[in-house]
Amino acid sequence: MESYSVYLHFDLLEVVPGRGEQRRLIMNFIRSLADAPHTLGDFTDRDESLRTLQIKIIGHYAITYWVDDPVKAVMVVGVRPADR
C-alpha cells in the first residue's frame, strides 16, 4: 500500500507535551498512520457531517483522526487528554 500523507492542525501541537515519553508515543502513533492509515481506534464517533472518526488512546491522550482515501490522507483532528 502506498503511504498516505498525515495532516494535523498546528494548534494541536499545543496540546501535545513538549518532550518526554508521552510526546514520543503520540508522535510515533501519528507518524505510523502514514503507513497504516486504516488503523482502527479504540472508539469511533461521528462528526457533524456524519463522517466516522477514529479515536485512539495513546498514553494519557486521545487522538482523533479520519481517513480521506480519495486524496490518500489521514486528517488528525483532535488531541486531548484522555480523561476528558
47 residue type, one letter = D
59 residue type, one letter = G
DSSP string spanning the chain?
A: -PPPEEEE-GGGGGTS-SSSHHHHHHHHHHHHTTT-TT---SEEEE-TT--EEEEEEETTEEEEEEEEGGGTEEEEEEEEETT-
Q: How many domains does the chain have?
A: 1
The domain in which residue 61 lies consists of 5-81
C-alpha grid cell, residue 13: 501541537
- Look over the chain and give the mean of its residue pLDDT values, rounded to a whole number: 93
Confidence of residue 76 (pLDDT cuts 50, 70, 90): very high
Q: Distance between CA atoms of 82 and 71, rounded to whole angstroms?
A: 29
**Tell me, what's the pLDDT at 84?**
58
Confidence of residue 18 (pLDDT cuts 50, 70, 90): confident
pLDDT in tens, 33-75: 999 999 999 999 999 999 999 999 999 999 999 999 999 999 9
- CATH code of the domain in which 59 resides: 3.30.2310.20
